[in-house]
Amino acid sequence: MQMKWRKLAVLLAALALLAAGCGGGEAADDEASAEDSASAEDTAAEEDTAEATEEDTEAAGSEESSGEVVVSGSSTVEPITGLVGEAFAGENPGVTVSVDGPGTGDGFELFCSGETDISDASRPISEEEVAACEEAGIEFVELEVAFDGIAVLTSPDNAEVTCLDFTDMYALVGPESQGFTNWSDANELAAEIGAGNAPYPEVPLNITAPGEESGTYDTFVELVLEGVAEERGQEPVTRPDYQASPNDNVIIEGITGSASSFGWVGFSFAEANLETVKAIEVAGEDGACVAPTTDTIADGSYPLSRLLYIYVSTTSAEEKPEVASFVDYYLSEEGLTAVADAGYVDLPEEQVAETQARWEARETGSAAAEA
């Protein structure tokens, strides 16, 4: 009897072990299944995150490389900004850079009415233009970008004229020379004011030069005519009776078209056309005649040297990332190669550093106008 109970106990124990083994296998299977499911979910989540990150990156890249930069102003600065714009757009194909050159004055009119992001200028902004910008709520950063000289020109055929000083030019194109049709018509006025290179030849005086909308006109009047005009109680302006144009290429054509022509343009335009025009040397206060070259413009020995500028709207720079990026590129080592490429004179390294610092600090206002 006892033997039977022992056999029954052993049988029950075996059954219990078997049941436990089967139950453990199912639990292990369930656990493995759960782990596989969790792993699959994690993988899917990671893939979703990666896709979202990629989409965000693409969207950010698209935003950075799109938009428009609108520049207008000086026809003298236009070639520099045009080259910078081409290079920048090449690296940022989604950005359109529009550059126009109607003249410094017309450019500031557009800029101070909020129609452009950047204004090219061949002279500092005037007090009246600063006031117009202030009235419209336009703040700006003034940035020096290059040196240029104003070249005084005639035809290579005009062999008798090689050097002029400021009083000579006042006698020929100042406010008291209206109606002079020959160079020699200015001889009497030249003698009266002590011009250094009179008498002049008895040949037609055909003048083609910038008009009042041009920064080159303003600089010429300020540097050449203003001092003599004030001494004589005259308004500092040119005579009105000549062919005026804001387009330097048109001026070059006019000077080329007459054997006894007279006019003035930015140095780079003159240098590019020396086969058809002649640069007249200019005498300073010491009487020394100096030709316009990159060296004489850079060292200031040429009497008609000047700085070139861009003016950047702070609102445009803040609200349009492409404008800030464009100016960053413009002032970079790569961007400033456009200065020499366009035929202008590079700023010294320390002056470039000052310009870059002014831009980085977003220093508003015109230091040049206040000087």
pLDDT tens-place string over residues 134-187? 999 999 999 999 999 999 999 999 999 999 999 999 999 999 999 999 999 999
Query: Does 360 lie in the same domain as 233?
Result: no
Handedness of CA 235, 239, 241, 246 (dihedral sign): negative
- Cα separation, 237 vs 229, in Å, equals 8
Q: Say which residues have a Cβ less than 8 Å from residue 363's Cβ, sequence separation at least 6.
A: 141
pLDDT of residue 66: 84
Tally Cβ neighbours within 10 Å of residue 233.
6
* Residue 86 resides in a domain: yes
Residues 283-341: pLDDT tens digits?
Answer: 998 999 999 999 999 999 999 999 999 999 999 999 999 999 999 999 999 999 999 99
Nearest by Cα to 269 from 158, 347, 156, 152 = 152
pLDDT band, very low/low/confident/very high, at 371 (cuts 50, 70, 90): low
Residues 244, 268: one domain? yes
Q: Degrees (nearest 5) of the Cα angle 293, 206, 184?
A: 95
Look at residue 49 in the predicted model and tell me its pLDDT: 43
Within this chain, do residues 206 and 348 fall inside the same structural domain, yes or no? no
User: What region does 103 belong to: left with phi over 0, alpha with psi -120 to 50, or beta?
Assistant: left
| 118 lies in some domain | yes
Mean pLDDT within 256-260: 97
* Residue 214 sits in the same domain as residue 270: yes
Lowest-confidence segment of 1-10, 36-45, 312-321 by average pLDDT: 1-10
Strand partners, 252: none
Residue 154 lies in a domain: yes
279 φ, ψ to 5°? -80, 125
Other Cβ atoms within 10 Å of 24 Cβ, number: 10
In terms of Cβ atoms closer than 10 Å to its own Cβ (0-12, 13-18, 19+), residue 151 is buried
Evaluate whether residue 282 is within a structural domain. Answer: yes
Report if residue 14 sits inside a domain. no
Q: 182 and 217, same structural domain?
A: yes
Task: Judge if 171 and 293 occupy the same domain.
Answer: yes
Determine the Cα–Cα distance for residues 332 and 316; give it in Å rounded to an integer: 19
What's the pLDDT tens digit per position in 62-89?
A: 345 689 999 999 999 999 999 999 999 9
The residue count for the chain: 371
Last residue of a domain, one of 264, 290, 305: 305
User: How many independent structural domains does the chain possess?
Assistant: 2
Q: Are residues 186 and 287 in the same domain?
A: yes
Residue 12 lies in a domain: no
Domain hosting 136: range is 68-146+306-370
Q: How many of the other CB atoms lie within 10 Å of CB of 359?
A: 20
| CA–CA dist 34, 302 (Å, integer) | 86
Torsion of CA 111, 113, 115, 118, to 10 degrees: 20
Average pLDDT score over residue span 182-211: 97
Asked whether residue 160 falls in the same domain as residue 133, the answer is: no
Task: Provide the pLDDT for residue 368.
Answer: 79
User: Final residue of a domain: which of 284, 305, 326?
Assistant: 305
Domain membership of residue 48 (yes or no) is: no
What pLDDT is stored for residue 296 in this prediction? 95
- Answer whether residue 229 is part of any domain: yes
Q: Are residues 181 and 86 in the same domain?
A: no
Same domain, yes or no: 328 and 364? yes
Residues 348 and 324 both lie in one domain: yes
Among the candidates 305, 321, 338, a domain finishes at 305
Identify the CATH number of the domain in which residue 269 sits: 3.40.190.10
Report the chain's mean pLDDT, rounded to a whole number: 86
Do 126 and 175 belong together in one domain?
A: no
Mean pLDDT, range 19-27, rounded to an integer: 43
